[in-house]
Amino acid sequence: MDSNIEHQVPDSSRTKENGIWRMTGHLLHRLFMNYLWLGLVVILAAIVAELSVQSPSFMLRAFLELVKTIGIAIFVAAIFTFAAGTSDFMARVSAMLQNIVVNRRFLNNMDESSKRGVIYSILQPTDRQRVIYSNIEDYYRHYIDRTMKVSSTSVRSNYNSLCTAFYDPDDLCIKADYRNWYRLYPTKDGFEDIQVGFYGQHSVITYQGVTVCRPDGRTERFDHSKIATMPKERTENGNEIVKIPISEIGKGAPHLDIELQVTQRGFDHWILIGFQALLPTDGFRFQVECEWPLSIRSDEVFIHGADWHKDPNESFGSSRLSISCQQWIDQGSGVSVLIGVEHEINESHFAEVRRRQRLSPRSLTGVGASPDSDVNQDLSSADAQEATSDSKNALEDVNGQP
């Protein structure tokens, strides 16, 4: 046991001694290998050499001055190297680079091409993506190009659309009255023209009026006759559009409130209505009301990347529908609703439709008159009796019994 102790003690002492020598060597290494001390030694050596020679030659004097200059350069560089390694210095340099490269003032001074190049250099597909699909880089460029157009595209918010679908016994078809209103914001170059479309080969869309209102209350209205005289342009898919100029009324305004009144003509027993975002839109609400004998047959929502709500959740057979979204939606998003009747409409149904329309007149707001309105009071007793009889006959035709 004693012999073991005698062997262990020298090992422990030797380990401690080795540690001290390693630490000393590390300190000496840092002391003599540090460029700060190297520069200082070079300067002192040159000074000592210069003082030791009483009358140095021109070449020796020039050489010593060169040595001192090199020593000073090494000394100063060592100081800056030490400062560059500190956290404060790194933080300051990082802040300066961030202010130069990331700051909006620097990016705003760049032209569109340079900005696009910066985004191209940041958004790049991975090597694995390139191996899997070589053309993935084209998608990145397409996405970046579309993003770059945001600054030159108007956006809108709080888009509301109230649609009332009804059967027109005079034209023997289903029609829909829309009232759309939203807030439009300008691009960096001002307000773009409002585009209104006449979809379909039969030009089933009629714009009753477009109203533009500034925040200060100044309003300009484009009625149906004025819109009809505006030049039409044909799009790539064959639809006709009209561009309503609003740049003049919107000059200097932070936003404009837009209201559109539209009538859409359908067919004898069905109509397809909808809403499509032609501009990036921050939230929308699309409401549908169906007058007798119409009902909703189906609906579809085309929204990607945003949450939306539908009420009722199952709309088949319902006379009303509300679809809303409180988030941003991209161009091309929208809603379509198919409205129709379950049975064939005949003369008796026409009478019932007329009676209901007399009792509750329609308007482009989609809101009917109240039961005690002047219109109801003006109905004669003969009209009331005729309407009651027609209503009874219509119900018999629909239900098969009184």
Q: Report pLDDT digits (tens) over 182-233.
A: 999 998 888 888 888 765 444 588 888 999 999 998 999 998 888 888 888 8
The per-residue DSSP string of 205-259 comes to EEEEEEEEE-TTS-EEEEEHHHHHTSPEEE-TTS-EEEEEP-TTTTTT-S-EEEE
Say which residue, 376 or 141, is predicted with more confidence.
141
Going from the C-alpha of 400 to that of each of 31, 64, 292, 343, the distances in angstroms are: 109, 122, 17, 12
34 has pLDDT over 70: no
Q: Residue 351: which pLDDT band, with cuts at 50, 70 and 90? A: low
Give the percent of the chain with pLDDT over 70.
Answer: 69
Q: Which two tokens stand for residue 192?
A: 């773009």
Helix or strand or coil: residue 287? strand
* Separation of alpha carbons 323 and 302, rounded Å: 11
* Separation of alpha carbons 338 and 273, rounded Å: 6
Q: What share of the chain is helix, strand, coil (3-state, %, to 5)?
A: 45, 30, 30
Mean pLDDT of 170-190: 90
Q: Residue 160: which pLDDT band, with cuts at 50, 70 and 90? A: very high
Query: Residue 14's pLDDT is what?
Result: 57
State the CB neighbour count (10 A cutoff) for residue 288: 26
* Separation of alpha carbons 197 and 78, rounded Å: 72
Stated pTM of the model? 0.60
Low-confidence winner among 165-169, 238-242, 353-357, 387-391 (lowest mean pLDDT): 387-391
52 has pLDDT over 90: no
Query: Residue 330's pLDDT is what?
Result: 86
Query: Residue 85's pLDDT is what?
Result: 60
Mean pLDDT of 13-27: 59
Going from the C-alpha of 157 to that of each of 185, 245, 281, 325, the distances in angstroms are: 8, 20, 5, 11
Say which residue, 368 or 243, is predicted with more confidence.
243
Say which residue, 290 or 124, is predicted with more confidence.
290
